[in-house]
Amino acid sequence: MGEAMIDEEPELEPGAAAASRGYDPERRDVAAHIEWQKQGAWVVIWGPYSRRFWAFARWPVPPGGAVVSAADPGELYAEMRDVERKHRFLRWRYGRGRS
């Protein structure tokens, strides 16, 4: 009798399997850079499953917090600025115009 054929998975280049699962070190680095630029006011992550950037506000906001997401960094910055205006981030950050 002949030998049974076993389906083998094709060999992938190093890192290709991780990339196919959504792991993307470049986008993680971008998220870390955005968080650094925002000086601790936001936690920013890359979501490998959603393939989106996520930002979580770290200053006092109403219950439920403020979370934004976007597919690209430019869109994320725009969403973050909108939340900062809506929740008076600059007043909190610099203590101006307190009511």
Please identify which residue in the block is written with the tokens 């998220």: 31
| Sequential pLDDT tens for the chain (99 residues) | 555 555 554 454 555 545 555 579 999 999 999 999 999 899 999 999 999 999 999 988 888 889 999 999 999 999 999 999 898 887 777 786 554
| Residue of 18, 68, 79 whose CA lies nearest to 48 | 18
pTM of the model: 0.71
Q: CA-CA distance, 59 to 84, in Å (whole number)?
A: 10
